[in-house]
Structure 1
Amino acid sequence: MAPKRTRDEDSDATKSKKPRTGFRVGPENLPDGAWKRKVTKIKKNLIQKAKIKKEYAKVKAQIEAEKEKHPVVNDPMLLLDAQEEEKHHHPEHTSEDNNTNDQPAPPSPQLHPSRQAMLDNPPTPASAPTAALDGSNPNLDDPTHPDRQPRRQQRKKLRPDYYSKELSAAQKAKEAAEKRQAEIERREKERQARIADRERFRKQMAKAKAPGFKDGKRKVGRESKLLLDRVQRIVGEGK
Protein backbone atom coordinates (compact mmCIF):
# COMPACT_ATOMS: atom_id res chain seq x y z
CA MET A 1 0.00 0.00 0.00
CA ALA A 2 1.38 3.43 -0.99
CA PRO A 3 2.27 5.83 1.83
CA LYS A 4 -0.22 8.55 2.62
CA ARG A 5 0.63 11.90 1.11
CA THR A 6 1.15 14.72 3.58
CA ARG A 7 -0.93 17.84 3.35
CA ASP A 8 0.44 20.90 1.65
CA GLU A 9 -1.20 23.09 4.29
CA ASP A 10 1.27 21.99 6.96
CA SER A 11 4.26 23.02 4.90
CA ASP A 12 2.62 26.32 4.00
CA ALA A 13 1.83 27.01 7.66
CA THR A 14 5.43 26.37 8.70
CA LYS A 15 6.71 28.64 5.94
CA SER A 16 4.27 31.44 6.75
CA LYS A 17 5.36 31.68 10.40
CA LYS A 18 7.27 34.88 11.05
CA PRO A 19 10.06 35.19 13.58
CA ARG A 20 9.17 36.99 16.79
CA THR A 21 10.65 40.46 16.87
CA GLY A 22 9.57 41.50 20.37
CA PHE A 23 6.95 44.01 21.41
CA ARG A 24 6.50 47.58 20.30
CA VAL A 25 5.60 50.55 22.48
CA GLY A 26 5.18 53.27 19.85
CA PRO A 27 5.49 53.71 16.10
CA GLU A 28 8.75 52.62 14.52
CA ASN A 29 9.09 55.59 12.17
CA LEU A 30 9.59 58.23 14.87
CA PRO A 31 12.37 60.72 14.11
CA ASP A 32 15.25 61.23 16.49
CA GLY A 33 14.07 63.53 19.24
CA ALA A 34 12.22 63.78 22.52
CA TRP A 35 9.35 61.49 21.51
CA LYS A 36 11.65 58.70 20.38
CA ARG A 37 13.72 58.96 23.58
CA LYS A 38 10.53 58.86 25.63
CA VAL A 39 9.27 55.73 23.82
CA THR A 40 12.68 54.05 24.25
CA LYS A 41 12.70 54.88 27.96
CA ILE A 42 9.19 53.45 28.43
CA LYS A 43 10.20 50.25 26.63
CA LYS A 44 13.33 49.85 28.80
CA ASN A 45 11.26 50.36 31.95
CA LEU A 46 8.77 47.71 30.85
CA ILE A 47 11.57 45.25 30.10
CA GLN A 48 13.17 45.93 33.50
CA LYS A 49 9.86 45.43 35.30
CA ALA A 50 9.28 42.16 33.45
CA LYS A 51 12.74 40.92 34.45
CA ILE A 52 12.12 41.87 38.08
CA LYS A 53 8.79 40.03 38.07
CA LYS A 54 10.46 36.97 36.56
CA GLU A 55 13.22 36.97 39.19
CA TYR A 56 10.65 37.51 41.94
CA ALA A 57 8.67 34.52 40.70
CA LYS A 58 11.83 32.38 40.73
CA VAL A 59 12.75 33.44 44.27
CA LYS A 60 9.19 32.89 45.45
CA ALA A 61 9.15 29.41 43.92
CA GLN A 62 12.47 28.58 45.63
CA ILE A 63 11.17 29.79 49.01
CA GLU A 64 7.98 27.76 48.64
CA ALA A 65 10.02 24.68 47.70
CA GLU A 66 12.22 25.16 50.79
CA LYS A 67 9.12 25.55 52.95
CA GLU A 68 7.75 22.30 51.58
CA LYS A 69 11.03 20.54 52.33
CA HIS A 70 11.39 22.09 55.79
CA PRO A 71 7.94 22.94 57.14
CA VAL A 72 7.71 25.53 59.91
CA VAL A 73 7.05 24.02 63.35
CA ASN A 74 5.07 26.16 65.80
CA ASP A 75 5.07 23.67 68.69
CA PRO A 76 7.76 24.72 71.28
CA MET A 77 8.27 21.14 72.45
CA LEU A 78 9.08 20.01 68.95
CA LEU A 79 11.49 22.93 68.56
CA LEU A 80 13.31 21.95 71.77
CA ASP A 81 13.57 18.35 70.57
CA ALA A 82 15.01 19.53 67.27
CA GLN A 83 17.59 21.68 69.07
CA GLU A 84 18.61 18.74 71.29
CA GLU A 85 19.05 16.54 68.24
CA GLU A 86 21.12 19.28 66.60
CA LYS A 87 23.41 19.43 69.65
CA HIS A 88 23.84 15.64 69.69
CA HIS A 89 24.63 15.49 66.00
CA HIS A 90 26.91 18.58 65.95
CA PRO A 91 28.64 19.01 69.33
CA GLU A 92 31.45 21.13 67.83
CA HIS A 93 29.00 23.97 67.13
CA THR A 94 27.98 24.15 70.78
CA SER A 95 31.61 24.32 71.91
CA GLU A 96 32.30 27.13 69.44
CA ASP A 97 29.25 29.02 70.74
CA ASN A 98 30.49 28.66 74.31
CA ASN A 99 33.94 29.93 73.34
CA THR A 100 32.44 32.95 71.63
CA ASN A 101 30.33 33.67 74.69
CA ASP A 102 33.38 33.47 76.99
CA GLN A 103 35.32 36.05 74.97
CA PRO A 104 35.23 39.58 76.47
CA ALA A 105 33.35 42.29 74.66
CA PRO A 106 35.41 44.83 72.69
CA PRO A 107 36.07 48.08 74.55
CA SER A 108 33.77 50.98 73.76
CA PRO A 109 35.36 53.98 71.96
CA GLN A 110 36.55 56.79 74.20
CA LEU A 111 34.87 60.19 73.90
CA HIS A 112 36.68 63.49 73.57
CA PRO A 113 37.30 65.13 76.99
CA SER A 114 35.36 68.28 76.06
CA ARG A 115 32.42 66.24 74.79
CA GLN A 116 32.50 64.09 77.94
CA ALA A 117 32.47 67.26 80.07
CA MET A 118 29.48 68.58 78.13
CA LEU A 119 27.62 65.31 78.66
CA ASP A 120 28.46 65.27 82.38
CA ASN A 121 27.49 68.92 82.96
CA PRO A 122 24.87 69.94 80.39
CA PRO A 123 24.37 73.73 80.28
CA THR A 124 20.96 75.04 81.33
CA PRO A 125 18.98 77.24 78.91
CA ALA A 126 19.37 80.28 81.22
CA SER A 127 23.14 79.93 81.67
CA ALA A 128 23.98 79.27 78.02
CA PRO A 129 23.49 82.86 76.75
CA THR A 130 25.27 84.35 79.76
CA ALA A 131 28.27 82.09 79.21
CA ALA A 132 28.38 83.16 75.58
CA LEU A 133 28.28 86.85 76.57
CA ASP A 134 30.88 86.54 79.34
CA GLY A 135 33.28 84.61 77.12
CA SER A 136 33.47 81.76 79.63
CA ASN A 137 32.59 79.10 77.09
CA PRO A 138 35.30 76.39 77.30
CA ASN A 139 34.60 75.31 73.73
CA LEU A 140 36.02 78.58 72.42
CA ASP A 141 39.51 77.42 73.42
CA ASP A 142 39.21 74.39 71.14
CA PRO A 143 40.25 75.42 67.61
CA THR A 144 38.40 72.43 66.09
CA HIS A 145 35.06 73.41 67.64
CA PRO A 146 32.44 74.73 65.18
CA ASP A 147 32.15 77.99 67.16
CA ARG A 148 35.78 78.77 66.29
CA GLN A 149 35.22 78.31 62.57
CA PRO A 150 34.71 81.44 60.44
CA ARG A 151 31.18 82.49 59.74
CA ARG A 152 31.58 81.98 56.03
CA GLN A 153 32.03 78.26 56.60
CA GLN A 154 29.11 78.10 59.03
CA ARG A 155 26.67 79.69 56.61
CA LYS A 156 24.75 77.17 54.62
CA LYS A 157 25.13 77.75 50.95
CA LEU A 158 21.78 78.36 49.39
CA ARG A 159 21.11 75.86 46.68
CA PRO A 160 20.29 77.63 43.42
CA ASP A 161 16.75 77.27 42.23
CA TYR A 162 17.28 75.92 38.73
CA TYR A 163 13.66 76.47 37.74
CA SER A 164 13.21 80.00 39.10
CA LYS A 165 13.68 81.60 35.69
CA GLU A 166 11.24 79.20 34.04
CA LEU A 167 8.71 79.66 36.84
CA SER A 168 8.93 83.45 36.66
CA ALA A 169 8.54 83.35 32.87
CA ALA A 170 5.54 81.05 33.19
CA GLN A 171 4.00 83.35 35.82
CA LYS A 172 4.49 86.39 33.57
CA ALA A 173 2.97 84.54 30.61
CA LYS A 174 0.01 83.51 32.75
CA GLU A 175 -0.56 87.10 33.94
CA ALA A 176 -0.33 88.39 30.36
CA ALA A 177 -2.85 85.76 29.20
CA GLU A 178 -5.22 86.72 32.02
CA LYS A 179 -4.94 90.40 31.06
CA ARG A 180 -5.65 89.59 27.41
CA GLN A 181 -8.65 87.48 28.40
CA ALA A 182 -10.00 90.27 30.63
CA GLU A 183 -9.56 92.80 27.81
CA ILE A 184 -11.36 90.49 25.37
CA GLU A 185 -14.24 90.03 27.80
CA ARG A 186 -14.48 93.81 28.38
CA ARG A 187 -14.58 94.53 24.66
CA GLU A 188 -17.18 91.83 24.13
CA LYS A 189 -19.39 93.36 26.85
CA GLU A 190 -19.04 96.82 25.29
CA ARG A 191 -19.90 95.40 21.88
CA GLN A 192 -22.99 93.67 23.20
CA ALA A 193 -24.03 96.88 24.98
CA ARG A 194 -23.62 98.92 21.75
CA ILE A 195 -25.63 96.36 19.81
CA ALA A 196 -28.40 96.50 22.40
CA ASP A 197 -28.39 100.34 22.31
CA ARG A 198 -28.61 100.39 18.50
CA GLU A 199 -31.46 97.90 18.54
CA ARG A 200 -33.32 99.95 21.16
CA PHE A 201 -32.73 103.17 19.19
CA ARG A 202 -33.94 101.54 15.98
CA LYS A 203 -37.17 100.38 17.62
CA GLN A 204 -37.78 103.79 19.20
CA MET A 205 -37.12 105.58 15.88
CA ALA A 206 -39.42 103.20 14.04
CA LYS A 207 -42.11 103.88 16.62
CA ALA A 208 -41.54 107.66 16.37
CA LYS A 209 -41.62 107.67 12.54
CA ALA A 210 -44.81 105.63 12.44
CA PRO A 211 -47.88 107.75 11.50
CA GLY A 212 -50.33 108.53 14.27
CA PHE A 213 -53.77 107.01 14.53
CA LYS A 214 -55.63 110.30 14.56
CA ASP A 215 -53.97 112.50 11.95
CA GLY A 216 -51.50 110.09 10.31
CA LYS A 217 -48.49 112.36 10.92
CA ARG A 218 -45.01 111.49 12.27
CA LYS A 219 -44.17 112.19 15.90
CA VAL A 220 -41.50 114.83 15.28
CA GLY A 221 -41.06 115.73 18.95
CA ARG A 222 -40.24 112.18 19.96
CA GLU A 223 -37.98 111.70 16.94
CA SER A 224 -36.05 114.92 17.68
CA LYS A 225 -35.54 113.88 21.29
CA LEU A 226 -34.09 110.53 20.21
CA LEU A 227 -31.79 112.21 17.72
CA LEU A 228 -30.61 114.71 20.35
CA ASP A 229 -29.82 111.91 22.80
CA ARG A 230 -27.85 110.10 20.11
CA VAL A 231 -25.85 113.22 19.23
CA GLN A 232 -25.04 113.88 22.89
CA ARG A 233 -23.87 110.30 23.36
CA ILE A 234 -21.64 110.45 20.27
CA VAL A 235 -20.11 113.75 21.39
CA GLY A 236 -19.51 112.37 24.89
CA GLU A 237 -17.76 109.27 23.49
CA GLY A 238 -15.59 111.50 21.27
CA LYS A 239 -14.29 113.42 24.25
Structure 2
Amino acid sequence: MPPKRPRDDDVARPAKKQRKGFSVGPANLPDGTHKRKVQKIKRDLIHKAKLRKSYAKIKAREDATEPGRSVYEHADGEEETEEPSEPVPEPTLEPHPDRVKLFEHDSLELKESIGHARRKKRPRPQPYKNEAELAQKHKEEAEARRKVREDAAKERHTRLAERERLRKAMAKARSGPDGKRKLGRESTVLLEKVKRLVGNA
Protein backbone atom coordinates (compact mmCIF):
# COMPACT_ATOMS: atom_id res chain seq x y z
CA MET A 1 0.00 0.00 0.00
CA PRO A 2 1.34 3.44 -0.81
CA PRO A 3 1.81 5.87 2.13
CA LYS A 4 -1.03 8.25 2.84
CA ARG A 5 -0.78 11.63 1.26
CA PRO A 6 -0.41 14.38 3.89
CA ARG A 7 -3.30 16.78 4.23
CA ASP A 8 -2.79 20.42 3.39
CA ASP A 9 -3.51 21.42 7.00
CA ASP A 10 -0.72 19.17 8.27
CA VAL A 11 1.84 20.70 5.91
CA ALA A 12 0.97 24.27 6.92
CA ARG A 13 1.10 23.51 10.60
CA PRO A 14 4.46 22.25 11.94
CA ALA A 15 4.52 19.51 14.52
CA LYS A 16 4.28 20.91 18.05
CA LYS A 17 7.49 20.30 20.02
CA GLN A 18 7.15 18.98 23.52
CA ARG A 19 8.94 21.45 25.75
CA LYS A 20 11.04 19.95 28.47
CA GLY A 21 11.01 21.62 31.89
CA PHE A 22 14.21 23.08 33.26
CA SER A 23 16.12 21.43 36.09
CA VAL A 24 18.17 22.86 38.94
CA GLY A 25 20.99 20.77 40.37
CA PRO A 26 21.57 17.06 39.80
CA ALA A 27 18.53 14.87 39.14
CA ASN A 28 19.61 11.96 41.36
CA LEU A 29 19.79 13.73 44.74
CA PRO A 30 18.56 11.65 47.71
CA ASP A 31 15.70 12.94 49.84
CA GLY A 32 17.03 15.35 52.42
CA THR A 33 18.37 18.84 52.98
CA HIS A 34 20.10 19.24 49.60
CA LYS A 35 17.07 18.12 47.59
CA ARG A 36 14.74 20.46 49.50
CA LYS A 37 17.15 23.34 48.93
CA VAL A 38 17.29 22.65 45.18
CA GLN A 39 13.47 22.43 45.04
CA LYS A 40 13.17 25.74 46.90
CA ILE A 41 15.55 27.42 44.43
CA LYS A 42 13.48 26.07 41.51
CA ARG A 43 10.21 27.32 43.07
CA ASP A 44 11.76 30.76 43.61
CA LEU A 45 12.96 30.91 40.01
CA ILE A 46 9.50 29.96 38.70
CA HIS A 47 7.84 32.54 40.97
CA LYS A 48 10.22 35.30 39.81
CA ALA A 49 9.65 34.36 36.15
CA LYS A 50 5.88 34.56 36.64
CA LEU A 51 6.24 37.96 38.32
CA ARG A 52 8.35 39.25 35.44
CA LYS A 53 5.84 37.93 32.92
CA SER A 54 2.87 39.52 34.68
CA TYR A 55 4.81 42.80 35.03
CA ALA A 56 5.59 42.75 31.31
CA LYS A 57 1.88 42.19 30.50
CA ILE A 58 0.77 45.06 32.74
CA LYS A 59 3.42 47.36 31.29
CA ALA A 60 2.42 46.44 27.73
CA ARG A 61 -1.24 47.15 28.59
CA GLU A 62 -0.34 50.57 30.04
CA ASP A 63 1.84 51.40 27.04
CA ALA A 64 -1.04 50.51 24.73
CA THR A 65 -3.44 52.87 26.57
CA GLU A 66 -1.00 55.83 26.61
CA PRO A 67 -0.34 57.52 23.27
CA GLY A 68 3.23 56.89 22.26
CA ARG A 69 5.52 59.87 21.78
CA SER A 70 7.85 59.93 18.86
CA VAL A 71 11.41 61.12 19.10
CA TYR A 72 10.87 63.21 15.92
CA GLU A 73 7.91 65.25 17.26
CA HIS A 74 10.14 68.09 18.42
CA ALA A 75 11.86 69.58 15.43
CA ASP A 76 14.97 71.79 15.52
CA GLY A 77 15.93 70.75 19.03
CA GLU A 78 12.95 72.50 20.67
CA GLU A 79 12.40 71.21 24.13
CA GLU A 80 9.13 71.28 25.91
CA THR A 81 9.33 72.47 29.46
CA GLU A 82 6.46 71.35 31.54
CA GLU A 83 5.72 73.32 34.64
CA PRO A 84 4.86 71.05 37.52
CA SER A 85 1.27 71.63 38.58
CA GLU A 86 2.06 70.97 42.24
CA PRO A 87 5.34 71.55 44.05
CA VAL A 88 7.61 68.56 44.47
CA PRO A 89 8.00 67.71 48.17
CA GLU A 90 11.51 67.85 49.57
CA PRO A 91 13.03 64.44 50.30
CA THR A 92 12.89 63.44 53.95
CA LEU A 93 14.74 60.76 55.84
CA GLU A 94 11.55 59.22 57.29
CA PRO A 95 10.18 56.19 55.42
CA HIS A 96 6.79 56.16 53.76
CA PRO A 97 3.88 55.25 56.13
CA ASP A 98 2.98 52.20 54.01
CA ARG A 99 6.56 51.00 54.30
CA VAL A 100 6.49 51.48 58.08
CA LYS A 101 3.30 49.37 58.29
CA LEU A 102 4.97 46.68 56.19
CA PHE A 103 8.02 46.64 58.49
CA GLU A 104 5.83 46.36 61.59
CA HIS A 105 3.81 43.54 60.04
CA ASP A 106 7.00 41.68 59.03
CA SER A 107 8.55 42.14 62.47
CA LEU A 108 5.41 40.76 64.18
CA GLU A 109 5.44 37.71 61.89
CA LEU A 110 9.15 37.24 62.54
CA LYS A 111 8.65 37.41 66.32
CA GLU A 112 5.79 34.89 66.13
CA SER A 113 7.82 32.51 63.96
CA ILE A 114 10.80 32.78 66.35
CA GLY A 115 8.48 32.10 69.29
CA HIS A 116 7.04 29.03 67.55
CA ALA A 117 10.54 27.84 66.68
CA ARG A 118 11.65 28.20 70.31
CA ARG A 119 8.60 26.35 71.59
CA LYS A 120 8.86 23.56 69.04
CA LYS A 121 12.58 22.99 69.58
CA ARG A 122 13.07 19.33 70.33
CA PRO A 123 16.09 17.72 71.90
CA ARG A 124 18.53 16.18 69.47
CA PRO A 125 18.16 12.42 69.14
CA GLN A 126 20.94 10.50 70.84
CA PRO A 127 21.52 7.18 69.08
CA TYR A 128 23.48 5.53 71.93
CA LYS A 129 21.44 6.88 74.85
CA ASN A 130 20.75 3.47 76.46
CA GLU A 131 24.37 2.40 76.14
CA ALA A 132 25.57 5.68 77.65
CA GLU A 133 23.17 5.30 80.61
CA LEU A 134 24.32 1.70 81.15
CA ALA A 135 27.99 2.75 81.03
CA GLN A 136 27.31 5.56 83.52
CA LYS A 137 25.57 3.08 85.84
CA HIS A 138 28.52 0.66 85.64
CA LYS A 139 30.92 3.51 86.30
CA GLU A 140 28.99 4.63 89.41
CA GLU A 141 28.85 1.04 90.72
CA ALA A 142 32.61 0.59 90.19
CA GLU A 143 33.25 3.91 91.97
CA ALA A 144 31.10 2.80 94.93
CA ARG A 145 32.96 -0.56 95.16
CA ARG A 146 36.34 1.22 95.01
CA LYS A 147 35.27 3.59 97.80
CA VAL A 148 34.15 0.67 99.98
CA ARG A 149 37.50 -1.10 99.36
CA GLU A 150 39.44 2.06 100.21
CA ASP A 151 37.43 2.57 103.43
CA ALA A 152 38.02 -1.07 104.43
CA ALA A 153 41.74 -0.76 103.70
CA LYS A 154 41.97 2.45 105.77
CA GLU A 155 40.14 0.79 108.67
CA ARG A 156 42.37 -2.27 108.48
CA HIS A 157 45.46 -0.04 108.38
CA THR A 158 44.34 1.94 111.45
CA ARG A 159 43.58 -1.32 113.32
CA LEU A 160 47.02 -2.68 112.47
CA ALA A 161 48.69 0.57 113.51
CA GLU A 162 46.76 0.57 116.81
CA ARG A 163 47.66 -3.09 117.46
CA GLU A 164 51.32 -2.38 116.72
CA ARG A 165 51.28 0.61 119.08
CA LEU A 166 49.71 -1.47 121.88
CA ARG A 167 52.23 -4.28 121.32
CA LYS A 168 55.12 -1.86 121.57
CA ALA A 169 53.62 -0.24 124.68
CA MET A 170 53.21 -3.69 126.32
CA ALA A 171 56.77 -4.61 125.38
CA LYS A 172 58.03 -1.41 127.00
CA ALA A 173 55.96 -2.03 130.15
CA ARG A 174 57.28 -5.56 130.56
CA SER A 175 60.95 -4.85 130.03
CA GLY A 176 62.28 -2.61 132.73
CA PRO A 177 65.97 -1.95 133.34
CA ASP A 178 66.12 -4.76 135.86
CA GLY A 179 63.64 -7.08 134.00
CA LYS A 180 60.64 -6.29 136.25
CA ARG A 181 57.20 -5.31 134.96
CA LYS A 182 56.11 -1.67 135.06
CA LEU A 183 52.52 -1.95 136.22
CA GLY A 184 51.66 1.74 135.63
CA ARG A 185 52.48 1.55 131.96
CA GLU A 186 50.92 -1.88 131.55
CA SER A 187 47.71 -0.75 133.23
CA THR A 188 47.18 2.12 130.72
CA VAL A 189 47.65 -0.29 127.80
CA LEU A 190 45.23 -2.81 129.31
CA LEU A 191 42.70 -0.04 130.06
CA GLU A 192 42.78 1.05 126.38
CA LYS A 193 42.25 -2.59 125.33
CA VAL A 194 39.25 -2.94 127.63
CA LYS A 195 37.75 0.35 126.41
CA ARG A 196 38.10 -0.79 122.79
CA LEU A 197 36.48 -4.16 123.53
CA VAL A 198 33.59 -2.51 125.39
CA GLY A 199 33.18 0.05 122.59
CA ASN A 200 32.93 -2.72 119.95
CA ALA A 201 30.43 -4.67 122.04
TM-score (norm 1): 0.35
Report 1 or 2 for greater relative contact order, CA contacts < 8 Å, sequence distance ≥ 6: 2
Rg comparison, structure with higher value: 2
